[in-house]
Structure 1
């Protein structure tokens, strides 16, 4: 990620979205509507207690890739039982790239959870959504995305 910091240190993860939040207002005219709406939600990076719409600690629960070459993709995230009231589904349109890169292994965690994410303008007018997980990084290049909080089952 370019602005968001999500790195493993000797005693845990260091997370810092402040540089991205400072840059985000400058990206408003460059991000597609859905991406802007999701990234600019005041709760998105608010890691304080009681914020059930912060992406941190959501659990990756499903990946649905379109098989008809439509460029559709959906990522489902289950709620963390101590933090979220509901899960999150991010649906991407016009996907041109999707990857999951595993970097390290934390065997004491049963599922990959979201550390933080970042959405930047893409080269073709779309956007690039990077999601740092506890064990991997997800990258999606697409035309736009829609993020909906609710039941993801």
Structure 2
């Protein structure tokens, strides 16, 4: 991630997370981010750790990727991620749907075997392309991996938890 910090602290045996630099830059990105992405990252609770609408600590539960079809020979299309609420913090889960996906990757840079689930540390949405008009990149730092999505826009929906 370019502005958001989410690093493993060997000495402290935990993660250091900080979105302050991204929050300082965020207003300058307003005109370059499409509507869904802007609504998601500019939500007042997105980076407020005590907020129910903060992405930190959500648990990754499902990944739905685009595949090659008759309508999409290159595999681009829609993708989605589903996150369950952390029982100590959230009452709702989060579903993110990506439109016109051109890149999706998961990088397992570390393995933390004492974690019960893969949880979100923080995320960052940035424009890509000339003048920011081509779409966005969404990077999500998880406890065990990093997800990177390049797409036209995203839609984030807070949903009731499925029991």
Scaled by the length of structure 2, the TM-score of the pair is 0.89
Following TM superposition, by how much is the alpha carbon of 1:66 offset from its aligned partner in structure 2, in angstroms?
2.9
Runs ≥4 residues deviating over 4 A = none
Show the 5 A alignment for 1:34-53.
34-48=36-50, 51-53=51-53
1:58 pairs with 2:58: yes
CA contact (8 A) 1:31 1:125 kept: no
Q: What is the aligned-residue RMSD (CA, Å)?
A: 1.2
**1:101 match:** 107
Give distance in 1, aligned partners of 2:101 and 2:42: 21
**1:25 match:** 27
**1:133 match:** 142
Structure 1 unaligned blocks of 5 or more:
none
1:110 pairs with 2:104: no
CA contact (8 A) 1:32 1:125 kept: no
Give distance in 1, aligned partners of 2:142 and 2:161: 18
Give distance in 2, aligned partners of 1:95 and 1:140: 7
From the CA coordinates, give the structure whose radius of gyration is larger.
2
SS in structure 2 of the partner of residue 103 of structure 1: coil
Give distance in 2, aligned partners of 1:73 and 1:79: 20
SS in structure 2 of the partner of residue 135 of structure 1: coil
Question: Which range moved further: 109-118 or 67-76?
Answer: 67-76
**Count of aligned positions:** 151
